[in-house]
């Protein structure tokens, strides 16, 4: 029986369920096929995309700024979801799960979920400091401090995973933690854009300062897009227990939860493509890795010679 909230059902199954009553027997065959295909596509696209982010940061020194360090940490958590959790989810949709498999899958799911929310919060704090205190930013947000912050994020994530995967603590605390970080992050971005607009108005006649403010705002907008989409994927998770009572309609709740959980996990496949669309430096880095940039540059050169 699900306890006080959907989070007692978590990323696996409710407490007390047996292997024979696992996900593979909750859903009709056509839903299992659809969810399996969605997970497979997200797994392939997300694994490739997040691997490109990690490789781009490894090869390009321009992608080693403080925000990029947090984006790298986020990409690593997303990569673990796409490369490990989603394939395990596909297996769970089509086979009965033993207890060890359920714990491992739940452990990975909890770690990545907490790491994603915590990394987004951390990079938001970085943007607040950069825009609100631009002259103190260099001394406050050093590489060392950023790495310490990332280490704290992963320690918290590992602790949550270790506690909640074997059902040692109610997962309502996990839900409250993630929701609190998410809503705080959204309010902080509202604050960022208000401050950025004020600064832009004050320094609009100073070209150099204006360029710096514009750059910071572009970075903030890119990360805000990531956070905003993440919030949209999270919203159904928060609303489901309100729409369907997890105690009175347990089976129906679990069926719908499989869809919502899958969509939330698939969010990890989207972030790299947001960077690619929003950031020229990531597009350039991806192009070089995929050997596309050289072809584009050659075409531009040929077109330029033709015009002349």
Separation CA 163–CA 142 (nearest Å): 32
Give pLDDT, residue 36: 92
Q: Which residue range(s) make up the domain with 237?
A: 15-302
Q: Does residue 1 lie in a domain region?
A: no
Q: Would you say residue 9 lies in a domain?
A: no
Q: How far apart are CA 65 and CA 91, in angstroms?
A: 38
Whole-angstrom Cα distance, residue 89 to residue 123? 29
> According to the model, what pLDDT value does residue 209 have?
46
Asked whether residue 204 is domain-assigned, the answer is yes
> Could you tell me the pTM of the whole model?
0.77
Average the pLDDT over 171-195 and give the result: 79
Query: Is 227 a domain residue?
Result: yes
Higher pLDDT, 210 or 85: 85
Residue that wins the pLDDT comparison between 219 and 242: 242
DSSP 28: -
CATH number at residue 132: 1.20.1070.10
Quick one: the chain helix, strand, coil %, rounded to 5? 80, 0, 20
Give 46-90 pLDDT, tens digit per residue.
Answer: 999 999 999 999 888 888 888 889 889 989 999 999 999 999 999
The token duo for 206 is 């100073």
Beta-carbon count within 10 A of 275 CB: 25
Tell me which long-range contacts 225-229 makes (C-beta under 8 A, separation of at least 24): 225/274, 225/278, 226/74, 226/120, 226/271, 226/274, 226/275, 227/120, 227/124, 227/182, 227/185, 227/186, 227/189, 228/186, 229/267, 229/270, 229/274
* Cα 15 from chain centre: 27
Does the residue 2 lie in any domain?
no
* Higher-scoring residue by pLDDT: 33, 295: 33
Contact between 18 and 252 under an 8 Å Cβ cutoff? The reply is no
Q: Give a yes or no: residue 47 inside a domain.
A: yes
Largest Cα span, the chain: 75
Q: Is 74 in contact with 271 (CB distance < 8 Å)?
A: yes
Question: Would you state the pLDDT for residue 268?
Answer: 87
Helix (H) or strand (E) holding 39: helix 29-59
Q: Which helix (H) or strand (E) holds 73?
A: helix 66-80
Residue 306 — pLDDT band, cuts 50, 70, 90?
very low
Task: List pLDDT tens digits, range 98-155.
Answer: 888 888 888 888 888 888 888 888 888 888 888 788 788 888 888 899 999 999 999 9
Question: What value does the mean pLDDT take over residues 143-168?
Answer: 88
Report, as an integer, the average pLDDT of 6-15: 40
Q: What angle do CA 81, 66, 149 make, to 5 degrees?
A: 65
Report pLDDT digits (tens) over 237-289.
Answer: 778 878 888 777 888 888 888 888 888 888 889 888 887 777 788 888 888 88
Q: Is residue 307 part of a domain?
A: no
Above 50 in pLDDT, residue 16?
Answer: no
Query: Total domain count for the chain?
Result: 1
Say if 213 falls within a structural domain. Answer: yes
**pLDDT of res. 49:** 92
Residue 203 banded pLDDT, cuts 50, 70, 90? low
């Amino acid at each position: 029986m699900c306890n006080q909230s959907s989070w007692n059902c978590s990323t696996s199954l409710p407490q007390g369920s047996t292997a024979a009553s696992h996900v593979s027997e909750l859903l009709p065959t056509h839903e299992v096929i659809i969810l399996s295909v969605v997970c497979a596509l997200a797994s392939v696209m997300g694994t490739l995309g997040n691997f490109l982010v990690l490789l781009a940061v490894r090869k390009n020194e321009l992608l080693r700024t403080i925000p990029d360090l947090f984006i790298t940490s986020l990409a690593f958590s997303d990569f673990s979801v796409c490369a490990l959790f989603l394939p395990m989810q596909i297996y769970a949709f089509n086979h009965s799960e033993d207890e060890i498999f359920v714990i491992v899958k739940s452990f990975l799911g909890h770690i990545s979920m907490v790491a994603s929310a915590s990394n987004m919060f951390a990079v938001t704090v970085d943007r607040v400091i950069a825009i609100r205190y631009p002259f103190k930013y260099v001394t406050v947000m050093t590489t060392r401090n950023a790495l310490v912050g990332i280490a704290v994020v992963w320690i918290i994530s590992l602790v949550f995973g270790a506690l909640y995967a074997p059902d040692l603590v109610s997962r309502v605390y996990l839900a409250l933690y993630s929701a609190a970080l998410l809503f705080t992050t959204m309010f902080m971005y509202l604050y960022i854009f208000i401050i950025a607009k004020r600064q832009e108005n004050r320094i609009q006649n100073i070209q150099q300062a204006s360029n710096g403010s514009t750059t910071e705002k572009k970075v903030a907008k890119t990360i805000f897009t990531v956070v905003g989409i993440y919030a949209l994927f999270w919203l159904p998770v928060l609303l489901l227990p309100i729409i369907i009572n997890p105690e009175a309609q347990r089976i129906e709740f679990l069926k719908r939860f499989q869809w919502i959980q899958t969509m939330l996990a698939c969010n990890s496949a989207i972030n790299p493509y947001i960077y690619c669309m929003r950031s020229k430096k990531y597009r350039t880095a991806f192009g070089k890795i995929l050997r596309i940039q050289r072809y584009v540059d050659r075409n531009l050169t040929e077109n330029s010679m033709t015009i002349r």
